[in-house]
Every structure is written in C-alpha cells, then in structure tokens.
Amino acid sequence: MFGLMGKILRVNLTESKITEEEIPESMARMFLGGGGLATKYLYDEVKKGTDPLGPENKLIFMTGPLTATTCPSAGRYSVVSKSPLTGAWAQSNSGGFWGPEFKRTGFDGIIFEGASPKPVYLVCEEGKAELKDAGHLWGKKVPETTDLIQEELGKDFKVACIGPAGEKLVRIACIMNDTHRAAGRCGLGAVMGSKNLKAIAAKGSIPVKIANPEAFKEVAKKQYQLINDSMLKVGLETHGTNLLLDMVNVRGGMPTRNWQIGMFEHVEKVNGPALTDNLLKDRVACYACPIACGRVSRIKTGKWAGKEGEGPEYESVVLLGTACDVDDLNAVTMANFLCNEYGIDTISAGSIIAFAMECYEKGILTKEDTGGIEIKFGDADVLVELTEKIGKREGIGDLLSEGVKRMSEKLKKGSEEFAMHVKGLELPAYDSRAVKITGLGYAVASRGGDHMTGYIQGPTFIDTPFLVVEDSKIDDVYSPKPHDTKVLNDLENALTMFDVTGTCKFMGLMLDAKEWVNLIANVTGLEFTIEDFRKTGERVVNLARAFNMRDGFSRADDTLPGRLMKEPMPEGPAKGHVVDSLDTLLDHYYEERGWDKASGKPTADKLKELGLENTIADIWN
C-alpha cells in the first residue's frame, strides 16, 4: 500500500535484538497506520492482565500514511501501550518534526518489547537501526539529553526521549520530542522508563511513495489555501491555543480551584493576549504546518527571568494556573517549562497539584504529610516547587506522582469525590457542568479523561463545528438530546482518523470528509470512500474498547467524578447545573455505537461488522 514504508522495527530490549517486519497488507488496509495500526498490534500482542510497567507490556510508536508528505500538518505520530496510570488502552500523540524524520528512515513504526538490563537508546538512520549505551544520559533532563545525543550523532538527528520523571516511573511521565513537543497523556514516559529506554534518535531521507503524486499535490495545495484563508489560522497564529481561555471562561466552564467554580476572576492575567504581550518571543510551527500555533516564551521579570522554552498551551495554563487559583503567568510558564524538562504531562500535573491544594485546605493532607510545605490555592511558588518535586519523585512529590486516583484511594476522607479523573486519567480543561455532553465524552473515552478523541468541546465551548462531521451542532448545552450522542459518536470516529493518518486535529476544523478521503485515496492508492473513512475510525474505537473490556473494564467505569454529578456549579452561566443525565446519555450512546447497554461491551454483531471477530471470545466468554 502506498503512503506506508511497509516495514516496522521490532526491538527486543531484553535481548538487545532488532528485527524488521513487513506490515501485512490486510492489516494495513483495515487500520491504515498511526494509532489504528498500533492499536491492532497492541491488542494482538499484549495479553489480559499484563503489568503496564512490566517487560511484557509493549510500547509502540507508529506514523500514519500522511506523515512526512506535503499534506498540511502531516507531522504527527502516535505512541500506544497499556497505561501505568489507568491500566487501560493508552494512546498519546505528538507533532513537531520527529515523526516525519523517523518515517523517512524507512520504517512506519517501532514495537519495543522486554526491558533492557541497562539504559539504552535507539538510533535509526536510512534504513538501519542500532541500540547504543545511554548510561551517560540517564538522569539528564530532556533538553540536555537532546543536546548530548545531537552532539554525538549530529544536529540533523531528531530526538524523542524521556526525562527524569520517566526514569523514576512517575505515572504521569510523557515522551518529549524536538525538546518541547510532548506525547503527553497516559504516562507512557513511565513505560519507556520501565524498559530502560532513554531515547530514539532518527535521521532519514527516504521519500514516501505516493500512489497519485500529481493529484495528491493538487489536493494538498487546496488544503493549504483553505487553511490560510481561515479565521482559525488567524486566531491561533496570533495568540496560540491560549485564545480559548476567554471563550471557555465566559461559558462558566473554566476549571478553577480544582473545579470548585467555573470562572476565573483574573483571566486577563493569563489569557492569550497576556501571554502574547508579556512572554512571547516567537511563534513556532510543526512539520508542514501553515498555522504556527506554538509559542516560544521567555520570562522577562522576577525570580525566573531569562528562562525560555515553548508554551504554555491552553490546557497547561488552565490546569497549572486557574485550577490551582494561580494568576501569576510567570509561575505558570515556569511550571510548564519544568514539565517539559522533566518529561511530565502538564494536564495531569496541574490537576494533581490542584487536588493536593484542596486536600490541604480540607485538612486531608497535613504539614507532616507535605514535608512542611503549605500547599495553598493561589501560591505561585508552591506550584513551581511541587511541579519539580513530581519530576524528581521527591518528598510529597512521590505521592503526587501516582496521580489523583491513587492519591484519593490512599487519602480517602471523601477526597474521592473531588479527585478529577475518569478511569484514572486526570480531566482536561473544560468543566462539563457548563456543557453536559462533554461529560459523556470524558466518561466513554477508552483512555480515560480525554477531550481529544471526540473533541466535542469544539462545537460546544468554542462554537467551531468540525466540517468532517455533518450537523455537528449542539443546540442546548444544558439539556443534551439523543442526537448529541450521535454527534459525539461521529466525532470520535472522524477524529480517530487524524491519529490514524498522522495529521493534526486542527485541520479537522477546516476540512470536510470528502477532502480527507481525497487525501487518503491519492496517497494510498486505495478506493477509499467517505464510508471507509468513518468505518475505519469506528473500527479503531471499537478495538480500543475491546482491549479495555478484555481487561475487566465495564459500564461502571464510564462515569465521572462525584463533583461534576453531585455539586451544582455555584456561580456563573452554569450556576445550579450538574451532569445529571449521564445514565440516559450512556444508553443512547451505546445504542448508537452498537454496544450492549448493560455491560458497555461492543456486541458480537458490531464486532463482526467491523471485521473484529477475533475479539468476540475475549470479551464475551
């Protein structure tokens, strides 16, 4: 199949053995690439009950058929594994330049298995791969690791690596590439650390073979024109993703003081214009991206003056900032820099610190527990201090490194009600009491508290429907209808395809399904229809669901934190609201999906329809 290099690397770290495998044609046609193909390998090779941090777990990097092509924003790759944070299927996704560079080495992906007896890193160059000693890199932060590898191999190498957090098995550790880009969610940096794998360095120039190069070129050119003419490009280029703060705040859905309220009084101190005016040094784009939503920031005043890096993005500002009631943008930015340097998910880190602050406020955590630190809401210095302690697994950071689910199970005393997670994954920066259908999106997501699988926030919080899904408008954010569950279903199927193809989801706001089909058909040479587009996404969603069901997950896990379902929003536009219709929404959603209402499992008929017959016995016997 065109668009794919046709080969993957299998790296047995226990035996220091590297082999090449061809991707079966039938598998490529069913799952295309990226997160889809990686999920298929994970399901087939990681058995029920596998310890996420044990050598039997596998860590799978995979690019998509559009990765490294001239398609706009085609610079993404997926990492799939079993999460040490949730015990569920895990996928994380990142942009930058590492993905295209790796693909041009001649491989679509890598399956890491086993665990090395000593620290190592993998070098991939022009169709060849070898493991190198990483003893001198162990303990180094992400920027230093990247610099050292490039000093050894050459500046042309792109590096994906973990920082100290991944080495210390911090359950919210992420994988960083190009120094500042993150495959952020689900703790996959800890899986990498458990395997004593420090980094993957890539350099390649092997071109991607395109089935219909001239037609593909014309389609891609049109996509660039559409994006360049869009208002989304203007907004993101000007203020980055931080432009969303005012939009979400005015809806009353801004997580503040650990989701106790939905509006942040001092939003003007941390919003997009504040970052642009006070911190912005430059704008940065990922591979083949016409938008450049990334921010290069520099702290100009105060105790952290001179510190420079990328970010913070919208999610980081909210979770490290408003959720912790911190309005000091310098402190939020410094905490963000530390997350990047240690290799930590900013969403989970901020949510964990906010949870710790509320536990301290309520007397559930004491000074004795915290090593003498007063963990109070609004304390900018404590925010930065705790971020570093998580990265080091030091002192109270050891407890915080376990995530809010495990923290609440240990602390008890009612903290479970305001531990803001689903299936163990901390929630992103949108309060579902302000837009109730987003709560369903969190609840059913296979990786846990996830906003990107279906990004129902687009057509609700920010009134930007995805063109790839027809009729994606939600009429009443406080009274969800059965139609809204279909919108979520359709969005999940479509947005999953962006992870499959290796493209950025911002493109999905601007391209319709026909445009996507043209891109895929011309790069792969397949007779690919809109129905194929939707069905492929649906297939991947169902396989990830089957992975979880095989490991004992059920409808009972498709739930929300008690705070969202029991505590009415105290003020703002959503005042008085809770997510009070989840059970009814689940019934409608399961019916729309073809899943059993009692258990939440995909039915045998649905699995047969999608060509996933091999999963039926695993989850129904």
The pLDDT tens digits of the residues spanning 488-497 come to: 999 999 999 9
Assess whether the region 7-203 and the region 232-426 belong to the same CATH fold.
no
Domain parsing of the chain, residue ranges: 7-203, 232-426, 437-559+581-620
- Helix ranges (H only) for 15-91 are 25-31, 34-45
- pLDDT tens profile 92-138: 999 999 999 999 999 999 999 999 999 999 999 999 999 999 999 99
Mean pLDDT for 538-561 is 98
Strand 175-177 with 181-183, pairing: antiparallel
> Residue 291 — very low, low, confident or very high, per pLDDT cuts 50/70/90?
confident
Cα 543 to chain centroid distance, Å, stands at: 18
DSSP, res 375: -
How far is Cα 335 from Cα 313, in angstroms, rounded to an integer? 12
Mean pLDDT for 428-452 is 96
pTM: 0.98
* pLDDT above 80 for 541: yes
According to the model, what pLDDT value does residue 494 have? 93
Q: Which of 90, 51, 54, 53 is nearest to 424 (CA)?
A: 90
According to the model, what pLDDT value does residue 510 have? 78
Mean pLDDT for 251-273 is 97
Mean pLDDT for 148-170 is 98
- The strand pairing partners of 20, in sequence order, are 9
Long-range pairs for 230-236: beta carbons < 8 A, 24 or more residues apart = 230/509, 230/510, 232/291, 232/464, 232/506, 232/509, 232/510, 233/290, 233/291, 236/291, 236/292, 236/293, 236/506
Mean pLDDT for 255-268 is 98
How far is Cα 61 from Cα 107, in angstroms, rounded to an integer? 10
Burial class (CB in 10 A: 0-12, 13-18, 19+), 400: buried
Mean pLDDT in the chain?
96
Specify the CATH number for 7-203; select among 3.60.9.10, 3.60.21.10, 3.50.50.60, 1.10.287.70: 3.60.9.10
**Tokens read off for 586:** 């689940």
> Residue 223 — very low, low, confident or very high, per pLDDT cuts 50/70/90?
confident
Question: Lowest mean pLDDT: which of 160-169, 224-233, 245-254, 605-614?
Answer: 224-233
According to the model, what pLDDT value does residue 402 have? 98
How far is Cα 508 from Cα 515, in angstroms, rounded to an integer? 10
> Residue 218 — very low, low, confident or very high, per pLDDT cuts 50/70/90?
very high
According to the model, what pLDDT value does residue 506 have? 81
What's the CATH fold of domain 437-559+581-620? 1.10.599
How far is Cα 86 from Cα 481, in angstroms, rounded to an integer? 30
Contact 353, 346 (CB under 8 A): no
Total Cβ atoms within 10 A of residue 350: 34
Contact 533, 513 (CB under 8 A): yes
Q: Give the CA-trace dihedral at 30, 33, 38, 41, to 10 degrees.
A: 40
What is the second-level CATH architecture of the domain 232-426? Orthogonal Bundle (1.10)
Please tell me the total number of residues recorded for the chain in this structure: 621
* pLDDT above 80 for 552: yes
